[in-house]
Amino acid sequence: MLVLGIESSCDETAAAILADGQIIRSSVVASQVLTHEKYGGVVPELASREHLRAIGPVVDEAFRQAGMTLHEVDAFAVTEGPGLIGSLLVGLVYGKALALSLNKPLVGVNHLEGHIHAVLLENKMDRAAGRPRPEARLPSVTLVVSGGHTSLFHVTSGPASVAASAMRFHYAQLGRTRDDAAGEAFDKVAKLLALGYPGGPVIDKLSCFGDPCAVDFGHIKMKGNPRDFSFSGIKTAVLYRVRGTDLAKEAEERRAWRQCVERPGIDDLRGHCSQATIDLVASFQHAVVEDLVERTLAAAEDCRVDNIFVSGGVACNSLLRQRFAEQSRGFQVFFPSPGLSTDNAAMIAAAGYYKLLAGERAGVTLTAHASLPLGTTPPSSLAI
């Protein structure tokens, strides 16, 4: 079965063609980073307009790379939420129009479900290519950690093996962020310190040169559900350490310098950062990563699973990968490759494939939802 996946929930316009839920025939991602970087974050109106410009060429390019025509696709999977409503609508309406005009099946996919399926897809591809990998099996505790989301899920399925077709997935949300997502905190700290956008990759690289214990941010305490996250406190703690100090002056100088250079390399940027700034971001990253790892491991122990999946843009973080490897406490921890961790459409096609096999079909009324909880939620949790 050939599925065309379309993803446009935030600032990436993406299309991918997936064969039989496991072979990526093509995957195209048009990033809007250049549009949003001068604002230090995604501007929703600009994002919708960029999606409108990009959606046609991106889908065309997915067909060109796959060496296929539109008529060869068997079904369509589109992200229906959660995300920016204007952005979501562009990809969803485009996919819906294609499916209806060709009279082919259509399914809507939850973006978070896509991130979870990125782990399974990567694992299937690795194993099919003969790379020696243990099988990513369900049940798992999955951490979806990105610029828009930080949530923990207990993921279970019908048949025991992920290789089985037509399997049904069940998602129970264990916890979620009550304020900023982890990636959002990275982006905001980078904006405060004039380090560039998106903040995660740059803080990741700069932190290699800093002391992660220079600033002790303490443990993040949660009242109520201990599986929930909160990163606004640590972000504000960084702000207080910067405001009115030499670090603020330094950040202003860096901001002025950055306006004269286009996308400086990490060595150049490092040359414009004091050791105190680099130590501060390294300590911030350390505190966020320790919290993500601790809460995920505790949830996996509670749920008595053997497998942990980690997905979403922040799953690219090198310290997060290192700490999960060091602390795994006997769990098998699976990450997608960086290209499948950040937003892409192959993961949407992968999640959609199982829905299609299970007979799910969306009709003309399929629409986008800015909020769209995935699976069951704990009684204390608010809807996403």
- Please choose, out of 23-31, 63-71, 142-150, 321-329, the segment that lies near Zn ion by the rule CB under 5 A: 142-150
- CB nearer ligand KG4, residue 63 or residue 197: 197
The option from Zn ion, ligand KG4, none interacting with 317 (CB < 5 to 8 A, set by class) reads: ligand KG4
Report if residue 113 touches Zn ion, rule: CB under 5 A: no
**CB 111 to Zn ion: min, Å:** 6
- CB nearer Zn ion, residue 133 or residue 321: 321
**3-state SS class at 118:** helix
- Rounded to 5°, the CA angle 260-262-268 comes to 85
Binding test (CB under 5 A) with Zn ion, winner from 8, 13, 87, 146: 146
Cβ neighbours of 307 (radius 10 Å):
20
**3-state SS class at 7:** strand
**CB 330 to ligand KG4: min, Å:** 26
**CB 78 to ligand KG4: min, Å:** 16
- CB nearer ligand KG4, residue 25 or residue 111: 111
Cβ neighbours of 93 (radius 10 Å):
17
- CB nearer ligand KG4, residue 157 or residue 341: 341
- CB nearer ligand KG4, residue 66 or residue 118: 118
Binding test (CB under 5 A) with Zn ion, winner from 184, 250, 279, 343: 343
The option from ligand KG4, Zn ion, none interacting with 199 (CB < 5 to 8 A, set by class) reads: ligand KG4
| Phi, psi values for residue 286, rounded to 5° | -60, -45
**CB 323 to ligand KG4: min, Å:** 12
> What Rg do the C-alpha atoms of the chain give, in angstroms?
21
Q: Cβ(341)–Cβ(316) under 8 Å? A: yes
- CB nearer Zn ion, residue 118 or residue 162: 118
Q: Cβ(382)–Cβ(103) under 8 Å? A: no
**CB 110 to Zn ion: min, Å:** 11
What pairing do the DSSP bridges indicate for beta strands 12-19 and 23-31? antiparallel
Q: Cα separation of 135 and 307, whole Å?
A: 10
b/e 9-31 (16+ beta carbons within 10 angstroms → b):
bbbbbbbbbbbebbebbbbbbbb
Q: Cα separation of 9 and 203, whole Å?
A: 24
**CB 249 to ligand KG4: min, Å:** 25
Q: Cβ(71)–Cβ(100) under 8 Å? A: no
Task: Give the residues lining the site for ligand KG4 (CB under 6 A).
Answer: 10, 146-148, 183-184, 186-187, 198-201, 204, 312-314, 316-317, 342-343
Reference 143, options 119, 127, 107, 159; nearest CA is 119
Report if residue 80 touches Zn ion, rule: CB under 5 A: no
Q: Cβ(285)–Cβ(204) under 8 Å? A: yes
- CB nearer Zn ion, residue 73 or residue 340: 340
**CB 13 to Zn ion: min, Å:** 13
Note the residues at the interface with Zn ion (CB under 5 A). 146, 343
